[in-house]
Amino acid sequence: MGHVHVLSELVANVLNVSVGVGDTVSVGDEIVLEESMKMEIPVLSEVDGTVVEVKVEPGDVVQEGEILAVIDTR
């Protein structure tokens, strides 16, 4: 399958980044915790794999469709 981009589904503030480069993730694992309109929204992995890139850090403001992290599924 290759690389999978984990995307933000809305404009939000990044509260927490739960993974780092080299971490192994499974389907359903939290990648990033976002906050929008006073609601906390976890962004979960949709694949099993290894995190190869994290593009955000706590305090960042992200836009809808922005890449949060990249996961290698090989």
pTM above 0.85, yes or no: yes
Count CB neighbours of 28 within 10 A.
10
Domains of the chain from N-terminus onward: 3-72 (2.40.50.100)
Q: Is the pLDDT of residue 3 over 90?
A: yes
Band (pLDDT 50/70/90 cuts) for residue 47 is very high
Band (pLDDT 50/70/90 cuts) for residue 74 is confident
Torsion (CA) 25, 66, 57, 5 in degrees, nearest 10: 20
pLDDT score of 1: 63
Q: Is the pLDDT of residue 32 over 70?
A: yes
DSSP annotation string for 43-72? EE-SS-EEEEEE---TT-EE-TT-EEEEEE
Q: Is the pLDDT of residue 42 over 90?
A: yes
